[in-house]
Amino acid sequence: MARKSKITITLGPATETPEMIGALIDGGVNVFRLNMSHAPHEWAAKMTKQVRAESEKRNSHTAVLFDLTGPSIRTGDVETPYELKMGDKVEFRAEGSDASIPISTTVNYPGMMNDVTAGNVLVVDNGALLMHIDRVDDDRIICDVRTPGKLGSRRHINLPGVRLNLPALTPKDHKDLALAVECGADFIAGSFVRDAAHVRELREAMEALEGDAQIVSKIEDQEAVRNIDSIIKTTDVIMVARGDLGIEVDFEDLPILQRRIVKRCHELGTRVIVATQLLESMISNPTPTRAEVTDVMNAAYEEADSLMLSGETSVGLYPERCVEALVRITSRIERSGGHGFGQNVILRDERQKTARAAVTLADSLPDARLVILTRRGVLANHVAMMRPRTNGIYAVTPTGKVCRQLSLTRGIRAFKMAFSSNIEETVERATEELRSLDLVRPGTPIVIVSDILSDHFAANSILLHHA
């Protein structure tokens, strides 16, 4: 039984060699993420070329995702980290302002003083430090430390529940976006997306550079959750980015929000990635904790399109074992079934209704396969979103870029093949390819669904064929 859940991993010092990239592709990786918060441009361009080269050697369609930094708030540089005790006072000031108390650092967002009020909670370094805002001045805020810890340089700041007037794209994001387009990125992720306007701004900026990547919107704060429907409808892929989201909301609410977002993505027909801390302990340990196994199992049971690893593969000691763990856990839970959110897809047009009819037919035939003929991949994504029970869902498209963009779609295996004007020839060539790979046997029923036009085949059509 082929694995349906796709695997996205982050490249870094632990995984940057061609040999390791090749081994990870062999191990089951479908998408490589480049985290532009830490990636120099020269390195990112080099990694993209290496992924392309190793994929070509294997005749695979492995995608590259550029993850933009986004408008994150960070502390400034400090000579030595501050050791903070409960009750200490900490100052966060605009750059250019002088310190007024001993424990003081700058922030890279001067507008923060206008967005917050006394009484707000301030979280530093992904939850390592909790503070209470005591006083707000024009160019600084004074906080009371509520949990002891260490405050170092360039630490990330969260302000749960606060509406921040940050731009959708920073000057750095625009530079990184230009690089992503130049490198031919398959996916570009926007960080801290808060509404549909942010998604449109990112897409318009990419298209102005003549880019054709698909947009991934990272859900990381309460405002994004409130606007989730409009974001889902505007983007190509949603990422449940549980790191920042888990700080922005009460931690006991996070699993509920994850499930609600995944379910809503199914209903509205948009792919979804579950990310962050899936196998966090494996950064330094060779096996996952039992809680991590259950967490991965839940994401696969929810039938998310892809599961993503970050530090586990970028800096961890056991990147290959992490991928193996994801493969083993997801493959096992897929054999026992899933939540069935695909039954709730809202059918809004003829193409989606055709996809539903094709899936219903394939699921009613023992050992049937689904083949989708598609130029842009849209119909293939609609078919996959219905979560067919058949173990063979194959997309045939004439474009390598579309094949790579389908590498994020649950259950789909894409093949690059030119279409003939004669539908019989196209179907026979696709069938021969599946036979050569031992994916079908003589007599296997194949449900072929298409949204392309040819001499004898109308758009949004279904054909039952036997291998």
What are the contacts of 35-43 at 24+ separation with CB within 8 A?
35/10, 35/67, 35/310, 35/314, 36/66, 36/67, 36/68, 36/69, 36/172, 36/173, 36/176, 37/67, 37/69, 37/72, 38/12, 41/175, 41/176, 41/179, 43/16
Q: What are phi and psi of 98, to 5 degrees?
A: -85, 150
User: 397 has which bridge partners?
Assistant: 416
Q: Which of 10, 48, 69, 276 is catalytic?
A: 276
Q: Which of 3, 140, 203, 218 is catalytic?
A: 218
User: 31 has which bridge partners?
Assistant: 8, 63
Q: Which two structure tokens, joined as six digits, stand for 342?
A: 């695909």
184 φψ region: left (φ > 0), alpha (ψ -120 to 50), beta (else): left
Task: Check: CB of residue 219 under 8 Å from CB of residue 169.
Answer: no
161 φψ region: left (φ > 0), alpha (ψ -120 to 50), beta (else): left
Q: Which of 74, 140, 401, 410 is catalytic?
A: 74
Residues 198, 391: Cα–Cα separation, whole Å:
37
276 is annotated as an active-site residue = yes
DSSP 395-429: EEES-HHHHHHGGGSTTEEEEE-PPPSSHHHHHHH
Q: Which two structure tokens, joined as six digits, stand for 466?
A: 């036997």
Tell me the residue ranges of DSSP E strands in 321-421.
Answer: 369-373, 393-397, 412-416
Task: Check: CB of residue 233 under 8 Å from CB of residue 253.
Answer: no
89 closest CA partner among 155, 151, 154: 151
Chain centroid to CA 282: 20
263 is annotated as an active-site residue = no
Task: Check: CB of residue 413 under 8 Å from CB of residue 393.
Answer: yes
Q: Which two structure tokens, joined as six digits, stand for 415?
A: 């093949």
Answer positive or negative: Cα dihedral of 147, 138, 106, 173. Answer: positive
Q: Which of 3, 33, 140, 155 is catalytic?
A: 33
The residue type found at 379 is L
Residues 182, 458: Cα–Cα separation, whole Å:
36
Q: What are phi and psi of 93, to 5 degrees?
A: -125, 160
**β-pair type (73-74, 412-416):** unpaired
387 is annotated as an active-site residue = no
Q: Which residues are catalytic?
A: 33, 74, 218, 276
